[in-house]
Amino acid sequence: MTKRVTLIIHGIVQGMGYRYTSRNEAQKRNFTGYVQNTDDGTVLLVAEGEEKDLKAFITWCYNGVGPALVTAIEEQWSAPTGEFSDFMIRS
């Protein structure tokens, strides 16, 4: 089942290549959505795809990005909107 997940990723995640690496991984998994840095030092990631694939991606988000140190990920699940055609980095 296709779902949308919004993640707020906490830890040492800015300036570590987190957005670029997570974008590349999301594109490999055929997700649509975006990732962006926020003013409070977290990373916001919105992805749409198959629920089981998104859950595996969340696990990857904890450990998959080189020197980044993720301490927590807040998850919010919802119905997909289909508004994205690709997965991109937002400024």
Residue range 5-55, pLDDT digits in tens: 999 999 999 999 999 999 999 999 999 999 999 999 999 999 999 999 999
The pLDDT tens digits for 47-90 are 999 999 999 999 999 987 888 999 999 999 999 999 999 999 99
Positions marked active-site: 19, 37
Number of H helices, E strands in the chain: 2, 5
Burial readout 39-63 (b: 16 or more C-beta within 10 A, e: otherwise): eeebbbbbbbbeeeebeebeeebee
2-77 CATH fold: Alpha-Beta Plaits (3.30.70)
* Whether the predicted model's global pTM rises above the 0.75 cut: yes
CA atoms in the 13 A half-sphere facing the CB of 50:
5
